[in-house]
């Protein structure tokens, strides 16, 4: 039987959610018997394949134009989209910057930090993503099919969701699998 194709990507993140995915530990050996991971932020292939995947997994909020494009690309190329972690599910800690003007945020980050010398300047290269006016949850940008909150989400919740999908069921998270912390 063909393996289920899964692509993952991260947006505005600390990467802890992807570490939680790795925290399924030895169960990952069982998972890869049924799943082909096509792309991820920690492999050479970063983008989901053009011919699509069965499941897309996004961690992190949407804070800039590159992240917005990555979320849309994943949505276009996957049948089922899972948002993992508080940042992806409702913006999480990343939304702290929404209390400030984005130019103020950039100035604080690149010019005014205590460790920045007098050469500090806000990078303005056209190749860089531009900050959106505010950080958004993934479902404010694209349709999300499954939300797995938590900071990071429990590895058991990620395992549960993936194995339910492999069994042909839409996962319904309850109890310890559903955390907001
Ligand atoms: S939800 Fe928590 S662990 Fe996941 S990316 Fe956000 S801050 Fe990091």
Q: 3-state DSSP call for residue 131?
A: strand
- 3-state helix, strand, coil split of the chain in percent (to 5) is 35, 20, 40
Q: Report the percent of the chain where pLDDT is more than 90.
A: 95
Name the DSSP letter for residue 172: -
Mean pLDDT of 37-55: 95
> Does residue 181 surpass a pLDDT of 90?
no
Backbone torsions φ then ψ of 38, nearest 5 degrees: -85, -30
Domain ranges in the chain are 4-99+133-177
Residue 8's H or E segment, with its range, is strand 4-10
- Pocket probe for ligand 1: among 8, 9, 17, the residue whose CB has the most ligand atoms within 8 Å is 17
Phi/psi at 55 (nearest 5 deg)? -130, 130
Q: What is the pLDDT of residues 99-151, one digit of tens each?
A: 999 999 999 999 999 999 999 999 999 999 999 999 999 999 999 999 999 99
- Measured in angstroms, how far is the CA atom of residue 93 from the centroid of ligand 1? 8
The number of the ligand 1 atom at minimal distance from the alpha carbon of 86 is 1
- Please identify which residue in the block is written with the tokens 């994943």: 74
Q: Which residues line ligand 1 (CB under 6 A)?
A: 13-14, 16-17, 59-60, 85-87, 92-93, 151-152
Fold of 4-99+133-177: Rossmann fold (3.40.50)
Q: Considering only CA atoms, which of 27, 22, 31, 93 is closest in space to residue 63?
A: 93
Which residue's alpha carbon is nearest to atom 5 within ligand 1? Answer: 13
pLDDT for position 180: 76
Query: pTM value?
Result: 0.95
Q: Work out the pLDDT band at 90, boundaries 50, 70, 90.
A: very high
pLDDT band at 1 (very low <50, low <70, confident <90, very high): confident
């Amino acid at each position: 039987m063909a393996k289920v194709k899964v692509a993952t990507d991260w947006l505005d993140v600390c990467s802890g959610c992807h570490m939680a995915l790795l925290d399924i530990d030895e169960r990952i050996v069982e998972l890869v018997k049924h799943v082909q991971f096509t792309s991820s932020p920690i492999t050479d292939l970063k983008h989901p394949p053009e011919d699509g995947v069965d499941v897309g997994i996004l961690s992190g909020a949407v804070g800039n134009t590159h992240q917005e494009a990555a979320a849309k690309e994943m949505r276009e190329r996957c049948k089922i989209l899972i948002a993992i972690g508080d940042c992806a599910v409702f913006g999480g800690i990343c939304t702290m910057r929404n209390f400030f003007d984005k130019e103020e945020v950039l100035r604080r980050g690149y010019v005014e930090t205590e460790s920045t010398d007098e050469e500090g300047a806000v990078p303005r290269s056209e190749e860089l993503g531009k900050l959106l006016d505010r950080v958004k949850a993934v479902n404010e940008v694209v349709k999300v099919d499954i939300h797995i909150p938590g900071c990071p989400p429990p590895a058991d919740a990620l395992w549960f969701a993936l194995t339910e999908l492999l069994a042909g069921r839409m996962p319904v998270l309850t109890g310890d699998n559903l955390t907001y912390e």
